[in-house]
Amino acid sequence: MAKVRNWTGDIPKLIYTHVLLIGVPTIFYYCLRVGGMPLINIHLAIATFFLLSSLVIFLEATNALFRRFAVKRKRTDIGHLAQFKQSTKSALGVSGSQRPPATNPLPRCSFLVAAYLPNEKDIILDTLKHILHRVQRSSEGLEVILAYNTPIDLPIEDDLRRLTLIHPELRLLRVEGSHSKAENLNAALHVVTGEITCILDADHHPAPDCFVRAWRWLEHDYDVVQGRNIIRNHGHSLLTLNVAIEFETLYGVSHAAKSFLTDSTIFGGSNGYWRTEVLQQIRFNPAMLTEDIDASMRTLLSGYRILHDRSIITTELAPADFNSFWFQRKRWAQGWLEVSFKYQRRVWKSNHFSLWQKVYWTYLLYFCVLYSLIALQILPLILSLFLYQGDLPPSDNPFLWFSTVITFSSGVYQTLVTMKVAAVRYPVFYFLQHAVIIFLYTILKNMIAVVGLYDHLHGVNKWVVTPRGIKQKRPLPVRKTPVLASTAAGVSSAK
């Protein structure tokens, strides 16, 4: 793991890439306009791209608004109107998954907590105490393995050893020579004893019923269950506030909808619940920047199944400053590029993917790569028109107006749906300000993604640590999730 750098060192890359992607096309389009060539077809193509991506947002948001995981079965003695509504939702496929409780008792469970202690020494004790004191335990027992690396001995290690004397289920595993989360986790896979293994980052605080909810799916049909990650320090700044709403959108809307629409999703790196035997087979690749997405692809290509259940909640810490945010998002963008280039062909050749899933993963992988590049091309078109005519006259093309309205309204609609299904009762102004600045926020993320592409093409793939340690200033209540009665076999998943 590399030392934290300052994002301002990427400013030359930012300027170069955007001059190349915006300045050069602007001059090219201007020359075409001077030569008398209409550019309406290019404009329509880009508008179509925006329209299609916006329609996907509408589809996912609408699906997430109605779909529910393992809700209680409806009573049969309800009124005629309620029965008609329930039947209509069932016919439309939006009534939710009415999954029965698990039939077998919850087996032995393990947490693998990965940490780089110089970076997470201030928060790791809180995380471990939260797990040890709050998580519900199987009668078969709970195991907590802290797999960590550190270049030097730290005082926090003495505190950790004292904690093991109080809690013998806690095991410390210092991974000598490790330089990554993947290496820490791989080392822990040699000693893990639980039938179910949950992977957690050092800042994650899982809900007490996390294992009993995951067991409903792992008992029979699925091999990995990804839960919902929400931001704990959302009140720290405007940045963490927007990351909080973004995460509610990702884990509460987008991932949940994709899981239902395609019966396929990703493992997000933390709050993921695995059949241990599957995890020991898949393991993690230390050479990948996003080892979680890489593991997701290898899991699916091996014929295993991953599901997203947004009722399995953990809280985490968002980057508390812009510098940390910049490098985290650049790593994510670059990591998706690596995975896209490495696995896309294998997806289409695989017998474990349906045709619909192949289309979905092509959209998910290559769309993430191409979106930031194609989205930028609207700016050269507008700038070249302004240079050519001296103003920007309103278009009389109804398709352009339609695509523009749909594009801008999709973000607002998605935010409203997020407000409806959010796990945390945020103030309404959180969502209002996010809906207002979502366009600028998206532009910022696209800019970072372009720099990530530049680094990838130039072979720059150093991991920059995301600093941890900022605590939440204004705690807000988590929505209560309805559950079935708790039994020896577990409890239900809701939402």
Return contacts of 96-99, CB within 8 angstroms, 24+ apart.
96/66, 96/67, 96/68, 96/69, 96/70, 96/71, 97/67, 97/68, 97/69, 97/70, 97/71, 97/260, 98/70, 98/71, 98/72, 98/73, 99/69, 99/70, 99/216, 99/217, 99/492, 99/493
DSSP code string of 370-396: HHHHHHHTHHHHHHHHHHHHSS-PPP-
Give CA angle at 482 (215, 66), nearest 5°. Answer: 90
- Parallel, antiparallel, or unpaired: how do β-strands 205-206 and 306-316 relate? antiparallel
Question: Which residue bears the tokens 């990650």?
Answer: 229
DSSP code string of 324-352: HHHHHHHHHHHHHHHHHHHHHHHHHH-SS
Residue 142: what pLDDT?
A: 97
| CA distances for 455 relative to 20, 21, 155, angstroms | 15, 15, 37
2.40.30.110, 2.40.170.20, 3.90.850.10, 3.90.550.10: which CATH number matches 1-52+105-495?
3.90.550.10
C-alpha closest to that of 368 among 424, 293, 310: 293
Residue 438: what pLDDT?
A: 86
Q: CA–CA separation, 131 vs 243, rounded Å?
A: 24
**CB contact at 8 A, 364 and 339:** no
| Amino acid of residue 383 | L
Q: CA–CA separation, 263 vs 356, rounded Å?
A: 10
Nearby residues of 155 by Cβ (< 8 Å), 6 or more positions away = none
Residue 462: what pLDDT?
A: 78
Nearby residues of 406 by Cβ (< 8 Å), 6 or more positions away = 51, 54, 55, 58
The tens-digit pLDDT sequence of the chain (495 residues) is: 445 578 999 999 999 999 999 999 999 999 999 999 989 999 999 999 999 999 999 999 998 887 665 444 555 556 777 777 777 766 665 665 556 677 899 999 999 999 999 999 999 999 999 999 999 999 999 999 999 999 999 999 999 999 999 999 999 999 999 999 999 999 999 999 999 999 999 999 999 999 999 999 999 889 999 999 999 999 999 999 999 999 999 999 999 999 988 999 999 999 999 999 999 999 999 999 999 999 999 999 999 999 999 999 999 999 999 999 999 999 999 999 999 989 999 999 999 999 999 998 888 887 767 888 888 888 999 999 999 988 888 888 999 999 999 998 998 899 999 999 999 889 999 999 998 888 889 889 999 999 999 998 888 887 777 777 655 455 566 765 544 333 333 333 333
Question: Which residue bears the tokens 């389009």?
Answer: 29
| Amino acid of residue 237 | S
DSSP code string of 87-156: HHHHHHT-S-B-PPPPSS----EEEEEEEEHHHHTTTHHHHHHHHHHHS---TT-EEEEEEEE-SS--HH
**CB contact at 8 A, 148 and 117:** yes
- Burial zone of 61 (CB within 10 Å; 0-12 exposed, 13-18 middle, 19+ buried): buried
| Amino acid of residue 444 | L
